[in-house]
Amino acid sequence: MGVDLLLIFPYFYDGRSRHWQFPPLGIGYIAAYAKTLGYRVEILDCTFLSQDEAVRRIESAKPRVAGIYSMLSMVNQAKQLAKVCRESAEVVIAGGPMPSAYPEIFLDDFDIVVQGEGELSVSEILEKLDGRGESNLGNVKGLWLNGRFNGGKKSFTGPRQLINNLDILPFPARELYDNEKYKAHYRRNYKYTMTSMIASRGCPFSCDFCWRPDYGRVYRHRSPANIAEEMEEIRYKWRYDRIWFADEIFIVDKKHVMRLCDEIVGRGIDIEWECLSRVDLFDSELARKLRKAGCYKVIFGLESGDDYVLNKLMNKRIKVSQSVSAVKAAKGAGIKVGAFFILGYPGENNETMLKTIKLASSLPLDYFSMTIPYPLPGTGLYDRVKDKMDTFEWEKPIHGWDHKLLFKHEFSLMKLKYGIWKARFHWRMRRKLGPLYWLFKPYEFYTDWRFKSMK
């Protein structure tokens, strides 16, 4: 007999980069919730599998219901695997960021599209199928149904409320992930093991390039005790060395984060972790607390070295001076600092881009990533450039220097790549030469000139 529910993560890591890999938390949550109701659930995480192996596993699981995750880069894979699932599953469901934002593009290949959080919706679908719950799918909120359920007409059952109290959710079903494969990936590339967890959902801000319509701007966090308990499980049951908090933004409510740090210290959890923070919410007091509680790295979205670009173009609502103080506060407390930058945002000029390059290469960062703008559907950025889009090639992951301009830009890809190279090069030289970097200044002026003269 097959399983009641097979949840699929259609991401195939090509092994080309050392890039972090994480288990799919969303379907882990859905699996855990359905298991508490007594359903037999399996996860098919394709990260370390070949396509043939994935197909074989679907065939042998023979699920009654198959649910497939999809984000921007996975739409085609999800649709292909849906075809395979059709052979045995009674119902094939799509869910995740893309189906939540654009349900209509999935309705020809899937029976149901779940919009938003999946834990309750998927369990209610299972209960309907075995007669335990609501007999009419039309009464289950948050579903887009294809014609099969409504006399050939596609229909929406109405929005589902977000889960207010995240503590009601069981922890993701980590026993269904291939933890050993993830550990081996980290050991091979980083000499330690790491996994992800999530302490909150949503983000109250609305940066122009960021995409999160499925959770809305509603920020909800778990209680410190509930978060700390999952950290203990990861450390002592699953034996990982480090945790990466995959929250959209981990530090949104300073008091809550301070309480969480006290909880971690009080329980004596000896695990290192890292997270994302905004710069305007970060100060020395918080930095010291974080460090004491095991936080070894904070990553800030610094984005640009120019206040006009940050606020008028990106709607980031921060100032460059706040970026500088936040980095100093974290470094002062002994926390490593990473940062994200975007170079060549539509509306930028040579001067603003050079300010970004200078900020990235002169701050005492331990790591930074600088990319060209990638317009995610659903964002303000996308709306502004959608008529100039050349390609929609999200299927291929973007590695290191493989940047690709998806829309017609006033600057060439070569110039933007040169800018990114310049930022990295000067950052490396500063780290290497320390106070002797001034010897290198003439070369920096030369690369400034070269950058400006490129089209």
Q: Contact between 207 and ligand B12 (CB under 6 A)? A: no
Smallest distance from the beta carbon of 284 to ligand B12, in angstroms? 27
CA 103 – CA 156 distance, rounded (Å): 10
User: CB nearest ligand SF4: which residue?
Assistant: 210
Q: Contact between 194 and ligand B12 (CB under 6 A)? A: no
The distance from CA 387 to its chain's CA centroid, rounded to whole angstroms, is: 26
Q: How many angstroms separate the Cα of 447 from the Cα of each of 304, 368, 422, 443?
A: 19, 20, 7, 6
- In the list 67, 103, 301, 344, the residue contacting ligand B12 (rule: CB under 6 A) is 67
CA 118 – CA 120 distance, rounded (Å): 6
249 binds, among ligand B12, ligand SF4, none (CB under 5 to 8 A by kind): ligand SF4
Q: What are the backbone angles phi and psi of residue 64, rounded to the nearest 5°?
A: -80, -40
Interface with ligand SF4 by CB under 6 A: which range of 46-54, 203-211, 253-261, 352-360?
A: 203-211
Interface with ligand B12 by CB under 6 A: which range of 96-104, 222-230, 314-322, 336-344?
A: 96-104
251 binds, among ligand SF4, ligand B12, none (CB under 5 to 8 A by kind): none
Q: Contact between 78 and ligand B12 (CB under 6 A)? A: no
Tokens at 328, concatenated: 């100093």
Name every residue whose Cβ is closer than 8 Å to that of residue 148 and which is 6 or more positions away in sequence: 111
Q: Contact between 240 and ligand B12 (CB under 6 A)? A: no
**Is residue 126 classed as helix, strand or coil in its secondary structure?**
helix
- How many other C-beta atoms are found inside a 10 Å radius of the C-beta of residue 453? 9
CB 285 within 8 A of CB 326: no
The residues in 293-312 that bind ligand SF4, with binding defined as CB under 6 A, are 301
The residues in 232-291 that bind ligand SF4, with binding defined as CB under 6 A, are 248-249, 278
Closer to ligand SF4 by CB, 5 or 203: give it: 203
Q: Contact between 210 and ligand SF4 (CB under 6 A)? A: yes
Smallest distance from the beta carbon of 205 to ligand SF4, in angstroms? 4
The distance from CA 175 to its chain's CA centroid, rounded to whole angstroms, is: 22
Closer to ligand B12 by CB, 379 or 447: give it: 379
CB 399 within 8 A of CB 355: no
Region class of 158: left (phi > 0), else alpha (psi between -120 and 50), else beta:
left
Interface with ligand SF4 by CB under 6 A: which range of 46-54, 72-80, 84-92, 206-214?
A: 206-214
CA 144 – CA 108 distance, rounded (Å): 11
Binding site for ligand SF4 (CB under 6 A): 203, 205-207, 210, 248-249, 278, 301
Binding site for ligand B12 (CB under 6 A): 7, 11, 20, 22, 24-27, 29-30, 67-69, 71-74, 93, 95-98, 114, 117-119, 122, 196, 198, 210-212, 214, 246-248, 374, 376, 397-398
